[in-house]
Amino acid sequence: MDGLIPPLLNGTAQGALLLLAALGLSLTFGQMGVINMAHGEFLMAGAFIAYLTQQVISSSDLSIPVALPLAFLGAGLLGLLVEVSIIQWMYRRPLDTLLVTVGVSLILQQAALQIFPAQGVPVEKPGWLDGQLAVLGYDWPLRQVFTLVLAALCVAALAGWLKYSSFGRRIRATVQNRDLAETSGVPTRSIDRITFFVGSGLAGVAGVAASLIGGTNSQMGTQYIIPAFLVVVAGGIGQIKGTIIAAWVVGVAMAYFADWTTGSLAQVLAFVLVVVFLQFRPQGLFTVRTRGLT
Amino acid sequence: MLITSRGRVKTLLATGALAATTALILSGCGARAGDTVETTAPAAASCIDTTGDTIKLGFLNSLTGGMAISEKTVSNVLHMAADEINADGGILGKQIEYVQEDGATDWPTFAEKTEKLLTQDCVAAIFGGWTSSSRKAVKPVVEENNGLFFYPVQYEGLEASPNIYYTGATTNQQILPAMDFLASEGVKTLFLAGSDYVFPRTANAIIKLYAAELGIEIVGEEYVPLDKDDWTTQVAKIAEAKPDFVFNTINGSSNVGFIKAYYDAGLTPETTPIISVSIAEEEAPAMGHEVTGNYASWNYFQSLDTPDNATFIDAWKAYPGSSGVTSDPMEAAYISMYLYKALVEKAGSFEVDDVNAAAAEGGVTFDAPEGTVTLDGENHHISKPGHIGKINAENQFDIVWSSDGVIEPDPYLEEYDWFPADVRDALVTSAG
């Protein structure tokens, strides 16, 4: 087995999970300018929904596929609740959204700690993810393949929705020029809500994938929020293709660094890579041209 | 006219970077133990109030934040022990009145609350803490104010304070027995997997020295940060190295990621078993994968057959807020409360100096669920039996190996000639 292959494949899967966590952010942060620090907790909500689904449908073969849409819906509704109750008063004030959503994230973490056993809850992976797929001489865990496929499906669905649906067109119109969109009859308020719902829902889907990789507990969201933000910023704000490339590069870089050094150093080196990149290209990989005056 | 709004993009970038920074700070990594303890207040004379019918004790556990996962249970068990003692007539005839404080998984908070408990609440002793960072934050404060702190978790050793009593295992009571067990199993190659902080780093430094002594080859050593769950890359290395055994010093929820990656890579306990020092009865069922056939090294297991264990288990199961299973850190917390009672009764006083003098005389024992433990008056640790348990299908541990009687605590490993003095000094320095 070539020692270069496992980090490449596992890094790709790691990047896919990062992408799933960042996709929703690239919508809410990139398209709407909301810095949602509670995004990690929406992810956590998705993971707990996977657990709850497993309590109802005991066969994990079935419960995980069922949990995916439920997590999207559940986390999306949670996001909608936060949007309607708090964030809608803060558009165009990104710093305020940051502070407020940090508070929301702490509240959600503590709520999870009160509701669920403090040790965290077990989420079992479906039987059809047992085993490995032989790729280039490496036995690639099927779970990793699953994360990759899930991320690909989510990206395709989101990109298609943004590009071809009337909702998508309206979202893009609102992003490019809110005032003009509004005068043209686009209901920007409900567009905001739908965008936030979808962005949060995607975090829920990421949560199901995360529950199959690590622990499901009140703290799990915190390990995804920083890398996810970095990936969105490095990819270029409002650009899904940038987020995809950045997530993949960070995931693979982290895996190779981890292979050559240690897990801790890998994280540091990957972040340094992003920071250095942003020094030379502060606008990220791709930029979006908007017609806004602000 | 087309206006590219670079201004907006820049603002967003700046706020994005700020968001990341804020998250870093909030995640608690920025806090250093000892930051806030440079208090200039003179060492207060003891203000412990012994005039009434009650005696105040402080409980200091993280009830919020990441460590609440573990410390909530310790807090519950401390309450249970205090209730039991109260029902039985209290300590020296005084009912225990406890002040519960939240350490909030934040080490400066541990230092502040310790000071508050000692100087404002005037508690006679404080019980709690879990992480080494929390203990190291409390240490200078209890030393300065001449208070008492009872610490209930197994840890990396290399410490002894006149103001701290350690009721969890030090390395020669948990790590070394695990290595003895591996040697008795004929293990030739070992892979070390740990979280990246002081306990696993120190434990592995000791393991490597002892492994050389036992003729066990270390074929790999991997660390992942405490707050990161994904172990896939590192487990791929284990699969490639094919060790006889994996020594797991991972802590917290990162264990779940490790276990999942381990089984997903096709590793099994039949070919590559794991021996852990932080997976107990509470953690085993929370892994999301059955872990039957793997091992753990502890001083207490729920399955231990001792006269006092059955009573302890029944009491815990009936206690409100109980998780239903007992584990080593819980039992150590339970011991700490009773050990304090025994010390005070021997001293006939709640004053710290009297309590320490009673400890120094030696011979303070407690019939614990793990068996009778004896306090070492010099290093303030307790003697403990070492046990290796093999996880069964009920997520309980079948005991497969036990030490020859209790092991005397030796936090600095002074009795082990394979442990060189310069390594000890270096480790003590690096542990701070």
Give the ranges where B190-270 is alpha helix by DSSP (H).
198-214, 232-241, 254-264
State the Cα–Cα distance between residues B182 and B245, nearest whole angstrom: 8
Condensed to tens digits (0 to 9), the pLDDT of residues B42-89 reads 444 578 888 899 999 999 999 887 788 789 899 999 999 999 999 999
The pair of structure tokens assigned to B53 is 């019918």
Distances (CA, A) of A43 to A217, B139, B426: 11, 37, 42
A43 at interface of B, judged by CB pairs closer than 8 A: no
Q: Which residues contact B87 (CB under 8 A, 6 or more apart)?
A: none
* Residue found by looking up tokens 């890398």 in the block: A227
Distances (CA, A) of A26 to A6, A19, A87, A241: 29, 10, 16, 10
Condensed to tens digits (0 to 9), the pLDDT of residues A13-61 reads 999 999 999 999 988 887 788 899 999 999 999 999 999 999 999 888 9
DSSP state of A29: I
Global pTM reads 0.87
- pLDDT recorded at residue B372: 95
- pLDDT recorded at residue A291: 52
Q: Which domain holds residue B223?
A: 172-300+386-431
**B82 lies in the same domain as B188:** no
- Residues of chain B with C-beta less than 8 angstroms from the C-beta of A267: 225, 228
CB-nearest partner of B232 from A10, A211, A262: A10
Distances (CA, A) of B171 to A81, A265, B203, B381, B398: 50, 27, 7, 11, 22
CB-nearest partner of B9 from A139, A237, A267: A237
Give me the DSSP letters along B119-182.
HTS--S-EEE--SHHHHHHHHHHHHHTT--EEE-S--------TTEEE-S--HHHHHHHHHHHH
Contact in structure between B79 and B127 (CB atoms under 8 Å): no
Residue of A271, A204, A179, A248 lying closest to A10 (CA atoms): A248
Q: Do the domain assignments include residue A95?
A: yes
Q: Do the domain assignments include residue A25?
A: yes
Side-chain-facing half-sphere of A94: CA atoms under 13 Å? 21
| Residue where a domain terminates, one of B347, B374, B401 | B374
Q: Do the domain assignments include residue A57?
A: yes
A204 at interface of B, judged by CB pairs closer than 8 A: no
Shortest CA distance from A213: residue in chain B? B257
State the Cα–Cα distance between residues B360 and B384, nearest whole angstrom: 18
Q: State the total domains in chain A.
A: 1
Q: Do the domain assignments include residue B193?
A: yes
The pair of structure tokens assigned to B124 is 């006679």
- Does A282 sit within 8 Å of B69, measured CB to CB? no
∠ CA A256-A260-A264, rounded to 5°: 85
Q: Do the domain assignments include residue B15?
A: no
**B288 lies in the same domain as B211:** yes
* Residue found by looking up tokens 């982290």 in the block: A254
- Residues of chain B with C-beta less than 8 angstroms from the C-beta of A280: none
**B296 lies in the same domain as B313:** no
Residues 203-262 of B with CB under 8 A from A: 222-225, 227-230, 232-234, 236-237, 239-240, 252-257, 260-261
Q: How many residues does chain A have?
A: 294
- Does B17 sit within 8 Å of A213, measured CB to CB? no
Q: Do the domain assignments include residue A172?
A: yes
Residues 80-119 of A with CB under 8 A from B: 94-95, 98, 102, 106, 110, 113, 117-119
- pLDDT recorded at residue B186: 96
Q: Do the domain assignments include residue A239?
A: no
The pair of structure tokens assigned to A45 is 């909500």
**B252 lies in the same domain as B396:** yes
- pLDDT recorded at residue A289: 62
* Residue found by looking up tokens 């206006």 in the block: B3
**B138 lies in the same domain as B242:** no
Contact in structure between B368 and B308 (CB atoms under 8 Å): yes
Condensed to tens digits (0 to 9), the pLDDT of residues A175-218 reads 888 888 899 999 988 898 999 999 999 999 999 999 999 999 99
Inter-axis angle of helices A188-211 and A39-56, nearest 10: 60
3-class SS at A262? coil
Contact in structure between B315 and B83 (CB atoms under 8 Å): no
Residue of B368, B299, B254, B221 lying closest to A261 (CA atoms): B221
Q: Which amino acid is at B353?
A: D
Q: Do the domain assignments include residue A23?
A: yes
CB-nearest partner of B196 from A123, A255, A264: A264
List the CATH number of the domain containing B88: 3.40.50.2300
- Does B227 sit within 8 Å of A217, measured CB to CB? no
Taking phi first (over 0 means left), then psi (-120 to 50 degrees means alpha), and beta for anything else, what does residue B362 get? left
A7 at interface of B, judged by CB pairs closer than 8 A: yes
Q: Do the domain assignments include residue A240?
A: no
CB-nearest partner of A102 from B26, B232, B265: B26
Contact in structure between A60 and A125 (CB atoms under 8 Å): yes
Q: Which domain holds residue A30?
A: 19-221
Contact in structure between A117 and B283 (CB atoms under 8 Å): no
Tell me, what's the ipTM?
0.88
**B257 lies in the same domain as B392:** yes
Condensed to tens digits (0 to 9), the pLDDT of residues A154-171 reads 999 999 999 999 988 998
| Strand arrangement of the beta sheet that strand B126-128 belongs to | B95-102, B54-61, B126-128, B149-151, B164-166
Q: Do the domain assignments include residue B29?
A: no
| Residue where a domain terminates, one of B351, B374, B397 | B374
Regions of chain B where pLDDT drops below 70 = 1-45
**B91 lies in the same domain as B181:** no
- pLDDT recorded at residue A194: 92
Q: Do the domain assignments include residue A282?
A: no
Q: What are phi and psi of B143, to 5 degrees?
A: -70, -45
**B153 lies in the same domain as B177:** no
Q: State the total domains in chain B.
A: 2
Shortest CA distance from A278: residue in chain B? B13
Shortest CA distance from B1: residue in chain A? A291
Give me the DSSP letters along B320-331.
TT--S---HHHH
Q: Do the domain assignments include residue B26?
A: no
Give the ranges where chain A is alpha helix by DSSP (H).
5-25, 39-56, 60-85, 94-115, 142-164, 166-176, 178-183, 188-211, 222-235, 240-260, 263-280
CB-nearest partner of B11 from A29, A94, A132: A94
Give the percent of chain A with pLDDT over 90: 60
Contact in structure between B274 and B293 (CB atoms under 8 Å): no
Shortest CA distance from A94: residue in chain B? B15
Condensed to tens digits (0 to 9), the pLDDT of residues A99-122 reads 999 999 999 999 998 899 877 899
